[in-house]
Structure 1
């Protein structure tokens, strides 16, 4: 019997996201799990507090299209069948929780940058996903490239 049958991998599509590939593939393979991979884009209006005097639809569409291309490449690198890959727009943590619940996922995998100090006080995506998740959460340590 598999421990995890439906896994949700949430990626930020940074270069460091590739660090999630091997562990996610191993867990999915060992459990013969269905794998869903998502990337969440926060709407540009969130960044500007909703008070933007212009239409950002075109820019948002370009961001979405670019993210779809990067996500497709990421999924190819995974080397594991991906049941669904999605680029979503909204609050990152809320969208991850929603997709996990809708798909009946029993594991969410996210990267954790291991922030400390002020960044820790402000919270991280991995920490926010953990609190309120409908299932287990695996936060894989992401190492920043050394200059």
Structure 2
């Protein structure tokens, strides 16, 4: 069985993130591993392709600040220091790959909603992370409260 020393947890900061954090905490304790948390924000220009004739930098900065606050709150119960809390801008799967390599993670933990049909065809972050990672990836099936 593999042992893990550095675990990168990719969070979307939704309510479902608590399920991913719980699994990461369990594995971190079981292996005595160091946990790092990450959240990737896609640039608004990616989403809108420059179709909006206005400066979105202030909105982007607010999104980043909110994400940092949420990641910090999630880190407190786990005792994760600020230097292992990463809010980055870019395409989620590629940024998680880059960050995992940068911190020498040997496991990436992400949430998976288990989408089917059209949602699956459109692609998912979990699938993107899985198919390009240089280390093990654990996709935690999250169940939304509906």
Aligned match of 2:89: 89
Distance 1:25 1:32, change over 3 A: same
Provide structure 1 residue ranges, at least 5 long, that are not aligned to the other structure.
none
- C-alpha distance in structure 2 between counterparts of 1:84 and 1:123, whole Å: 28
Deviation >3 Å, runs of 4+:
80-83
Aligned match of 1:20: 20
- TM-score, normalization by structure 2: 0.93
Deviation, structure 1 residue 98: 0.1
- TM-score, normalization by structure 1: 0.93
Aligned match of 2:103: 103
Corresponding residue SS for 2:16: helix
Aligned match of 1:76: 76
Deviation, structure 1 residue 2: 7.1
Aligned residues: 145
Aligned match of 2:46: 46
Distance 1:28 1:80, change over 3 A: farther
* Deviation larger for 23-32 or 3-12: 23-32
Corresponding residue SS for 1:15: coil
Q: Does 1:7 align with 2:7?
A: yes
Corresponding residue SS for 1:60: helix
- C-alpha distance in structure 2 between counterparts of 1:91 and 1:50, whole Å: 17
Maintained 8 Å contact 2:106/2:136: yes
Maintained 8 Å contact 2:9/2:21: no
Corresponding residue SS for 1:63: helix
- C-alpha distance in structure 1 between counterparts of 2:66 and 2:79, whole Å: 22
- C-alpha distance in structure 2 between counterparts of 1:114 and 1:29, whole Å: 26
Q: Aligned runs of 1:123-142 on 2, under 5 Å? A: 123-142=123-142
Maintained 8 Å contact 1:25/1:80: no
Maintained 8 Å contact 1:111/1:139: yes
Maintained 8 Å contact 1:2/1:31: no
